A and B are shown apart, each in its own frame.
Chain A
């Protein structure tokens, strides 16, 4: 469908006249197509206010522009297949707020969002470098997606128990961290990190472990590089660390550490901010009491990257070329990232989806509770799956197939030596990275 300049002018003029606004409306300035409607697909809420506020913001967009928007919520496991079907059939939603890697897999089916991204960057203090990595097509300056938020996974620990173990501050190096875990175990409050087939928490822990030791799955040219002496060091460290864990972590799924921390069985794990709020706001008094004792800290730095590293669960919005209303779609994304909407969403979700734009670090939400402050800098610490290479389909598969997690788990279980495990991970990764 082609839209002439005249159509747009008429549409815009009609709207402006109807609203009798003195200033040009958004619909005018953004050249929104006449009679535009949008369908948006995004993952379903994880924290309650997410969906409510997202819908409110969408309604505000409809009010401001007259563009009707329908938002569909897909369960987390369904989102990727649905995105793929949309991409392959060239039908369905115009805008998909998909998972981190997906815009890169369907890059040639997406419209260029460079203008929107650059405007937003200028207005809101710039994008974090990792956000640029997620937004731009590999090795270009073309934006194919707008990263909307990321949920980080720093350390979550019981303050009093860490103190009891003799640590006034959460350790920032590997040796101190191991020492802390040993002492926590001795005091009967061991650490626990998921080593089962837990796609979120398992990868989160194992990525940190390898990255912070200087290992990585692939190098800058997407050549598999996991079988390195840094990885083997990381695995030796993992074995020692595993000895201090609560028993059974090899079978832990994503929810297991939440259960164990809530029940007071463990003193230290890694998680998104949602766990803190679910404990703090618990109706059960004993559980709510635990909330007062919880705190967060970045995982130890190590020699690897020279700064803390973390895996973030990222949502990354894209607009498909098949949309009839590209201007409306671009404007929608811009609108949702503007302060009036974004800050409300960020704050309402207690910082669950943290900001990819530096300016929002000033948001009131980060002053609301000093204990969640560490999540503010999620995007400064975050690396992507497939680090140091490109964000590709292969990187996504390696993540989903637990290559990193099972490498670590097999060493911890005593099934493989660090050397064998690294070689096996290399073999598996190569299979997905072959061209």
Chain B
């Protein structure tokens, strides 16, 4: 007994400091988090920080800049092209989001019914979302081409409803609506499939109960489906707004921001000024100017839609 009691303290010091260090919980937590934090710092925080810094300098491609304070933002404030791009981005995001949600929800409700070939249909619905954006952008570029548009071809040469080909992209408003339509087409599957997942979590018992209470189809949708769907709707809406707000490829591939800069979004203008135009500082300033809008959009859709009042009726706080 005494031997054992004496042996114990002698083994203690042989444990190396390394072992003790790894037994120390805060240190272990730190070590395990390190790879993730490292990745975040190097690939997210650093570029973001650098972008913000560049926005306050007059850096150009090929020449490092000096700190110039808010000069980039001041000059953007007086730049009609930038102001147009802000309005375009807001219009593009709001109209396209409404379109995507209206049609996406409708599609989700249809797919939630018992249809023949249900799985196949659901897989097909995802195609626009799976196709790389650039490819669908090029497809739309052909669809909207002033000379080779399939829509114009059908209307003019096949049906004879029109005499001239449609100039989809040649003037500002038609060009904007065309781009919004392309974005909606691309975004519907994401909304539809996400909402479909939400719909399937709603217990059929709730519908049965509503039916027993004599609720019609609209009332079942309004008072069962919609409130139950609200949490997932909020998440999907947040993501969708973010994707749409930062969209780049569709616009860049189809119009390059034309005609006469009337379809530039903030993202395409930031690239145009920063890379081909070489004004890195100004491009970064445009990109930084997107941040407040993104934060507001996220906060709105996240908090507002997650409120219980919206989910469960006016009287339930």
Contact = CB atoms under 8 A, between A and B. Distances in A.
Interface of A: 77, 80-81, 83-84, 87-88, 105-106, 195-199, 246-253, 256, 259-260, 263, 265, 393, 396-397, 400-402, 406, 409-410, 413, 415, 431-432
A196 B259 contact: yes
Contact of B171 (A250, A259, A260, A431): A250
Given A247-B167, A397-B279, A413 B147 contact: no
B147 A197 contact: no
B113 interface: no
B276 A248 contact: no
A250 B145 CA distance: 11
A89 to B, nearest CB: 11
B147 A260 contact: yes
Nearest to A400: B276
B165 A196 contact: no
B149 to A, nearest CB: 9
A77 B257 CA distance: 17
Given A248-B170, A251-B167, A196 B255 contact: yes
B170 A247 contact: yes
B61 A248 contact: no
B99 interface: no
B259 A251 contact: yes
Contacts, number: 102
A247 B260 contact: no
26 contacts: A77-B275, A83-B62, A84-B62, A87-B62, A196-B169, A197-B256, A197-B261, A199-B276, A246-B146, A247-B167, A248-B146, A249-B146, A250-B169, A250-B170, A250-B171, A251-B144, A252-B146, A259-B145, A259-B147, A260-B147, A265-B147, A400-B276, A401-B276, A406-B261, A409-B260, A432-B279
Contacts of B61: 80-81, 84
Interface residues of B, number: 33
Contacts of B256: 196-198, 253
B65 to A, nearest CB: 12
B60 to A, nearest CB: 7
Interface in B42-84: 60-64, 75
Among the interface residues A106, A197, A259, which one has the most CB atoms of the partner chain B within 10 A?
A197
Nearest to A84: B62
A88 B64 contact: yes
B283 to A, nearest CB: 12
A195 B61 CA distance: 27
A251 B278 contact: no
B38 interface: no
Contact of B278 (A88, A247, A253, A396): A396
B147 A248 contact: yes
B148 interface: yes
A405 to B, nearest CB: 9
A248 B278 contact: no
A83 B164 CA distance: 46
Interface string B171-192: 1000100000000000000000
A199 B61 CA distance: 18
Contacts of B146: 246-249, 251-252, 256
Contacts of B258: 196-197, 250-251, 409
A251 B62 contact: no
Contact of A251 (B164, B170, B276): B170
Given A197-B256, A251-B167, A400 B62 contact: no
B225 interface: no
A393 B257 CA distance: 22
A431 B34 CA distance: 46
A396 B256 CA distance: 18
A197 B257 contact: yes
Given A199-B276, A259-B148, A248 B169 contact: yes
